[in-house]
A = this chain, B = another copy of it.
Amino acid sequence: MTKIGILGYGNLGRGVECAIKQNEDMELTYVFTRRDPATVKILTDSAKVASVNDILNHKDEIDILIICGGSATDLPEQTPEYAKHFNVIDSFDTHAKIPDHFSNVDRSAKEGGHIALISVGWDPGMFSLNRVYASAILPDGADYTFWGRGVSQGHSDAIRRIEGVLDARQYTCPIESAVESVRKGEQPELSTRQKHTRECFVVAADGADLAKIEKEIKEMPNYFADYDTTVTFISKEELDRDHQGIPHGGMVIRSGRTGWDLENKHVIEYSLKLDSNPEFTSSVLIAYARAAMRMHAEGQRGCRTVLDVPPAYLSRMSGDELRAHML
């Protein structure tokens, strides 16, 4: 039985709690929060809620700590800090900053004699794995990653910061004709605008200048300016009724050629359709928590990513069972 602590009880932390329930070799012992613990209600009767300030008093009750903070400010601080005291795993997803995060966490984890797995989820995570597998198998080829249709929290937040906006939900959508061309192995050159569109559903304040809001969204640099963006104003009731889920997904496609004269074409595709982005990410985290415990048990110390983990380590089955039933 692996004893798990969750640090941070938002959508991701709650997803981890649900995933633990689905894995009989895992047990939730503690949820740690920055809020007043008395105000945090969790679902698991047998687990306790405690203040993050008391976390070091519970080292013996936790085999691995799943850190469920945000990538912008929480994880760059938390993961290196807690890797000194616990085996840890996070879903750090700021791709450009992974090398820095890795070296910070690696230093702490080695110092503390722990194992740490960072950037575990689906992108980075399962999508990264598939990029690596496919490009190793087909060295003469091209990679494409499409996301969606799914909710982007970052883009939804960006819209909410506009004056006159009460709430918003943004969907990232792959452009079907681009996906089809890639699937046919045509290896098209695709600009940002040719890969995805952005659909925005916005609740505006009474009397707000809708044209101004729409213009501000569509011209927002980095977030929307490089995309074909649609803005639909809806009521708060419509938002609550039709846009409460957090679906996501996407696909990693590589097409490449083999043969003495590269005469044969191949297409490898990995795709996800997810009703709940945080719950799927949580499910990946729990499978890798099992792997991390095995790596720790065999003496591995320091930081690792999904690229370093043998697939068998994720499964509850033994090597013999896997070879007999899954290979």
Question: What B residues does A315 contact at CB under 8 A?
Answer: 132, 135-136
Indicate whether A164 reaches chain B with its CB closer than 8 angstroms. no
Question: What B residues does A139 contact at CB under 8 A?
Answer: 22-23
Name the one of B43, B305, B310, B324 contacting A308, with C-beta atoms under 8 angstroms: B310
Instruction: Check A266 against B273 for contact (C-beta < 8 Å).
Output: yes
- How many chain A residues touch B (Cβ–Cβ < 8 Å)? 70
Instruction: Check A311 against B133 for contact (C-beta < 8 Å).
Output: yes
Query: Which residues 14-34 in A have Cβ within 8 Å of B in the complex?
Result: 15, 17-19, 21-23
Indicate whether A58 reaches chain B with its CB closer than 8 angstroms. no
Instruction: Determine, out of A75-83, A210-218, A236-244, A279-287, the stretch whose residues face the partner at the interface.
Output: A279-287
Shortest CB distance A255–B (Å): 9
- Contacts A22-B140, A258-B19, A326-B307 given; indicate if A314 touches B266 (C-beta within 8 A): no
Query: Which residues 269-327 in A have Cβ within 8 Å of B in the complex?
Result: 269-276, 279-280, 282-284, 287, 290, 305-312, 314-316, 319-320, 322-324, 326-327
Query: Which residues 95-143 in A have Cβ within 8 Å of B in the complex?
Result: 95, 98-99, 102, 119, 124, 126, 128-133, 135-140
- Contacts A260-B21, A308-B310, A315-B136 given; indicate if A272 touches B276 (C-beta within 8 A): no
Instruction: Check B272 against A267 for contact (C-beta < 8 Å).
Output: yes
Name the one of B274, B307, B309, B314 contacting A327, with C-beta atoms under 8 angstroms: B307
Question: What B residues does A279 contact at CB under 8 A?
Answer: 258-259, 264, 266
Alpha-carbon distance between A280 and B287 when the two chains are bound, in angstroms: 29
Indicate whether A193 reaches chain B with its CB closer than 8 angstroms. no
- Contacts A128-B326, A132-B322, A322-B307 given; indicate if A266 touches B275 (C-beta within 8 A): yes
Alpha-carbon distance between A162 and B280 when the two chains are bound, in angstroms: 51
Alpha-carbon distance between A19 and B136 when the two chains are bound, in angstroms: 11
Question: What B residues does A282 contact at CB under 8 A?
Answer: 258
Alpha-carbon distance between A268 and B269 when the two chains are bound, in angstroms: 11
Alpha-carbon distance between A136 and B26 when the two chains are bound, in angstroms: 13
